[in-house]
């Protein structure tokens, strides 16, 4: 077979099969070299350690034009991914440094106090949706709100057993002694959309099991809003699920006791990011002390911000 090497260039017996990029599977080199008929006996006689070293050498200039283009394309793609990642981290870095300069350094004493103890007035239960961060929407500052976020901002009843949500609520109420528990829902909630469309399944997914905690809200929505479009039904259920979570909070004796005494308030909130409006209401305990499944919630002090 005719040699593929340029006649004017002298190469070492190892150069023809070295790689210009770490990240290619090493078998790729041998397979490619065999295909070209360029495996030297000297390479075959090399010890494994020397083969390992020679694989890492940068000799892209001896690869044929087609293979060079292949590697160039691979390099460009990876540089693009890398550049995007670096750009993202750089943005986070700049945001952090801005926070440190303008917020932290401007309130050093406050942050030193927070380092010793936290005394938030609010416990916030919100959705994990990336579009509805309560700190951005309502301006909660460090130390003001103890927060837990889950799919569809749900609170399961006590009988359903331990979850990270009721564990956080217990810590907030018993240890931090918050004065308000604020359940915040939002428009276009994918968790509620799944709840409204899912069927009974013998093998439900993790998400289906979780949103099943709001099944009562779905049943009530079907009763009260069955004549509406699917999108309108979902919006109805998004608000109804908040009320169900407020009622579920009353299944915890240490919450019910504090609400009865007036030392703890339960609030619902709904953020519509399509119109950028916010609705807030407070549970009326005197009218809502029946926490059995299917019971209706009475609210007071309903306010609409637009």
Q: What is the CA radius of gyration of the chain?
A: 31
Number of CB atoms found within 10 A of residue 147's CB:
19
**Cα 74 to Cα 24: distance, rounded to the nearest angstrom:** 10
127 known ligand binder: yes
Mark 59-77 as b/e (b = at least 16 C-beta within 10 Å).
Answer: beebbeeeeeeebeeeeee
**What six digits make up the tokens of 262?**
């007036």
CB atoms within 10 A of CB 171: 14
294 torsion bin: left (phi>0), alpha (psi -120 to 50), beta (else): left
Q: How far apart (Å, rounded) are the C-alpha atoms in residues 275 and 273?
A: 5
DSSP-H helix ranges across the chain: 26-36, 41-44, 48-55, 65-99, 108-116, 134-138, 164-170, 190-197, 206-211, 215-224, 230-249, 253-261
CA pair distance 131, 234, nearest whole angstrom: 18
C-beta separation of 274 from 232 below 8 A: no
- Asked if residues 299 and 268 have their Cβ atoms less than 8 Å apart, the reply is yes
Contact indicator for 120, 146 with CB cutoff of 8 Å: yes
Other residues' Cβ atoms within 10 Å of the Cβ of residue 263: 12
Ligand-binding annotation for 188, yes or no, is no
Annotation: binding site for Zn(2+): 127, 129, 186, 189
Annotation: binding site: 127, 129, 186, 189
């Amino acid at each position: 077979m005719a040699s593929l090497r340029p006649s004017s260039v002298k190469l070492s017996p190892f150069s023809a099969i070295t790689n210009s990029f770490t990240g290619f599977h090493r078998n790729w080199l041998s397979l490619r070299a065999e295909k070209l008929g360029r495996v030297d006996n000297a390479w075959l006689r090399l010890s494994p350690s020397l083969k390992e070293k020679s694989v890492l050498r940068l000799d892209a200039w001896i690869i044929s034009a087609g293979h060079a283009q292949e590697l160039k394309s691979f390099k460009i793609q990876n540089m693009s991914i890398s550049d995007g990642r670096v750009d993202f981290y750089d943005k986070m870095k700049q945001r952090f440094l801005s926070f440190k300069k303008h917020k932290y350094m401007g309130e050093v004493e406050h942050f030193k106090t927070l380092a010793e103890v936290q005394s938030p007035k609010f416990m916030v239960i919100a959705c994990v949706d990336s579009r509805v961060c309560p700190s951005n929407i309502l301006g909660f500052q460090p130390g003001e709100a103890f927060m837990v976020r889950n799919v569809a901002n749900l609170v399961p009843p006590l009988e359903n057993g331990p979850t990270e949500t009721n564990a956080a609520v217990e810590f907030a109420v018993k240890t931090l002694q918050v004065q308000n528990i604020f359940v915040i829902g939002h428009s276009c909630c994918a968790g509620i959309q799944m709840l409204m469309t899912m069927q009974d399944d013998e093998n439900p997914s993790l998400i289906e099991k979780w949103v099943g905690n709001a099944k009562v809200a779905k049943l009530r929505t079907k009763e009260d809003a069955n004549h509406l479009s699917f999108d309108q039904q979902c919006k109805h259920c998004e608000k109804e699920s908040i009320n169900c979570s407020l009622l579920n909070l009353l299944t915890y004796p240490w919450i019910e006791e504090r609400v009865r005494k007036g030392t703890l308030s339960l609030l619902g909130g709904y953020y519509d990011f399509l119109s950028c409006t916010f609705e807030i209401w407070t549970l009326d305990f005197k009218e809502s002390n029946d926490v059995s499944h299917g019971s209706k919630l009475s609210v007071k002090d309903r306010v609409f911000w637009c």
